[in-house]
Amino acid sequence: MASGTTEFVVRRNPEMGPGGTLVASPTAPFDAPEPELGSETMLVNVGPQHPATHGVLRLVVELDGETVVSVVPRLGYLHSSFEKLGEYRTWNQIVPLTDRMDYLAPLIYNCAYVMAVEKLMGIEVTERCKVARVICMEMDRIFSHLLWLGTWSIDVGAFTPFLYAFQQREKVYKLHEALTGARITTSATRIGGMMADLPEGWAKGVGEFADNLPATLDEIDALLTCNAIHIGRTQGIGAISAEEAVNHGLTGANLRASGVPYDVRKDRPYYDYESYDFEVPIGCHGDCYDRYLVRMEEMRQSVRILHQALERLPGGPMDVEDPRISLPSKTDCMSDMESMIHHFKLITDGIPAPAGDCWFSVEGSKGELGMYVVGDGGPKPVRWRIRPPSFVNLSAIPRLSEGHLMADLIVINASLDIVLGEIDR
Amino acid sequence: MTPDSSSGGPFSGFDLVAAGPEGPREDAGAGSRERSVAPGNPTVTALRARFPDAFVRNEICAGDEDVVYVDPERVGAILGWLREDPDQHYDHLADVTAVDHGGGRPLEVVYQLWSIPHRSALRVKCELPLDALEVESVTGIWAGADWLEREVYDLFGITFRGHPDPRRILMPENYAEGHPLRKDFPLRGRFSRAEQTRRALTQNPEDHYAPGEIAERAPQVVDPADPGAGEGEGVG
């Protein structure tokens, strides 16, 4: 067949030759220029009810073929108005609202909130309480990262790590239940202490969990870290430079994967974190694969902190010995008139906090979790603001995913480790 | 397994940074560590010297938190200077929020700044009278301010001049009851429960999936003094 002729073979179906060239087609000669197809971008709605959006997140995606042109996240499907509700509750009554925000790491939220209020009130909690809260927070950091690891591996097409991770999560659920009676809605902290002292044998249970976790992590490591499919799906996907990551307000593992060693536990230490021996893993490419590596290593570092905290867990009282804050014992209330009145007043009136405002941030599992509380001298906050780490992290998703494929958008979303309860609040 | 051997998995071949609070940080001199605990915060002093007419007052809250009140007209210039000046370098905008103290008092816009290299924090506030709820957007300085400012607009009704996408973010775009975190907003909303249900049931699902989503839309502003004004329009 010489070029330039109009001779062509008509077949029922177009066939592909080597290299994907069109050999023959019922409508167009193979050597004629490809027809100018009217090309337009397509809007695809992802979510809000889809497992790959990790909650009720809705992404309106503009696609050119399979390439993402723009992403517009739509939020608010889980908006619960926690900050408004907080203004109608006493300081202690807000605690149950906090764990409903990040149900993947409820104890970190419980602790962060009371730590901010305690700072506003000028309360120094007991040594035992400090170490107990460090144990709670590190345990829940692992708890949250394990869920991220499981759902992340499903999003890149691996199912087994999900099961391994959830076996370990179940142990933390049981520890939550032993500590507070609830598996997710823990509400474990109170201003000036915890809801109760640690139950007998609980610290030993945490120790066993910390002992067994690295073996599971090694197994998942072996399944994913050098897995060609996993590497192909994640390396070079959703990369962001250190400067841009800081500019977009990214925190937590997402920021550290870009090489910025900002960790609130190291940079603004609270609860003697400076005296614990642990390291902050950082990545150097800022892509999805580095975020995976950083979180895997963070779990191992949390195990180290857990071991050290369990070792130094002191005896003594859990709550501060301050009658303005701590409730009298149940026995006293039942036998002593003044104690009963005192108990009644503390419960019905609430604890007054001084006028003023206070910002306190901790290193949450998703990033820098800030609590901003404003008091006016009364028992209720004027304003209670949560600096939501995944809200700010998610705001970078248009920047991270534009130009990538639709399938990569799912991986990028998984790599950010978001929780919608906290984004929508 | 001992705590030490758990520190590195079989494949963790990447950098570990152990820089504690005393550890080295290239661009932070020895003196910069003291700045956040020193009684006179050098940033506050420098800010007062640089912007004498825009500096309103400063205070220390909760023991060690420096708060600076500035003129709302100059917020963009001041925050830009705090971000760019090498001695300040507040490169991490942790939070933008607002506080309504109620009783007709001005609304406060609160910026929480953190300098990663200098390890110091600063809270910048500006007070907006209720009849002029407008302030310059800082999205040009920190890209991370985008959603935070949208949230402040959504929940408080403060307009950010020059924001690239000034829409509501948590509440629906056609939400007609006002701005929920204002003190004059009742906990259950401005409309009756029956009216809220009617609006929810008569919403057109098509509204949520239209191609116009990508395009910019003018924000719907409801006059809080006259909440009934939005009653007849829109959603039905």
A213: tokens are 């976790």
A134: tokens are 């460090």
Cβ–Cβ under 8 Å, residues A320 and A193: yes
B19: tokens are 């820089």
Coil/strand/helix, residue A12: coil
Residue A27 has pLDDT above 80, yes or no: no
CB contact (8 A) between residue A368 and residue B8: no
Chain B contact present for A120, CB below 8 A? yes
Q: How far is B15 from chain A (nearest CA, A)?
A: 6
Query: Which residue is listed with tokens 């506030």?
Result: B125
Can you tell me the distance from the alpha carbon of A213 to that of A210, in angstroms, rounded to the nearest whole number?
5
C-alpha separations of B140 from A263, A401, B51, B122 in Å: 25, 21, 20, 19
Residue B228 has pLDDT above 90, yes or no: no
The question of ipTM being above 0.90 is answered as no
Per-window interface: A 83-102 vs B, CB < 8 A: 83-85, 88
Per-residue pLDDT reduced to its tens digit, B181-191 = 999 998 888 88
CB contact (8 A) between residue B9 and residue A267: no
CB contact (8 A) between residue A383 and residue B99: yes
Can you tell me the distance from the alpha carbon of B44 to that of B67, in angstroms, rounded to the nearest whole number?
9
Can you tell me the distance from the alpha carbon of A373 to that of A381, in angstroms, rounded to the nearest whole number?
7
The pLDDT score that the predictor gives to residue B220 is 42
In terms of Cα–Cα distance, which of A148, A103, A91, A167 is closest to A374?
A91
Please state the rounded mean pLDDT for residues A282-300: 91
Can you tell me the distance from the alpha carbon of A303 to that of A322, in angstroms, rounded to the nearest whole number?
33
List, as one string, the DSSP characters of A96-110: HHHHTT-TTSHHHHH
The pLDDT score that the predictor gives to residue A29 is 53
Interface test with B, best of A267, A270, A287 (most B CBs within 10 A): A267
Taking contacts as CB-CB distances below 8 angstroms, the residues of chain B near A246 are 91-92, 116
Taking contacts as CB-CB distances below 8 angstroms, the residues of chain A near B214 are 43, 60, 62, 70, 72
CB contact (8 A) between residue B214 and residue A72: yes
Query: Average pLDDT over chain A, rounded to whole?
Result: 86
Per-residue pLDDT reduced to its tens digit, B109-158 = 999 999 998 888 999 999 999 888 999 999 999 999 999 999 999 999 99
Per-window interface: A 267-296 vs B, CB < 8 A: 267-269, 274, 279-284, 290, 293, 296
Query: Could you tell me which residues come within 8 angstroms of residue B235 by beta carbon, excluding any fewer than 6 positions away?
Result: B174, B176, B199, B202, B203, B204
Taking contacts as CB-CB distances below 8 angstroms, the residues of chain B near A425 are 170
Per-residue pLDDT reduced to its tens digit, A393-419 = 999 999 998 888 888 999 999 999 899
Interface test with A, best of B108, B139, B147 (most A CBs within 10 A): B147
Please state the rounded mean pLDDT for residues A258-263: 91
CB contact (8 A) between residue B143 and residue A269: no
In terms of Cα–Cα distance, which of A204, A235, A238 is closest to A306?
A204
Residue A5 sits at φ, ψ, to 5 deg, of -80, 165
Beta-strand pair A58-64/A67-74: antiparallel
In terms of Cα–Cα distance, which of A374, A253, A419, A390 is closest to B147?
A390
pLDDT > 90: percent of chain B: 28
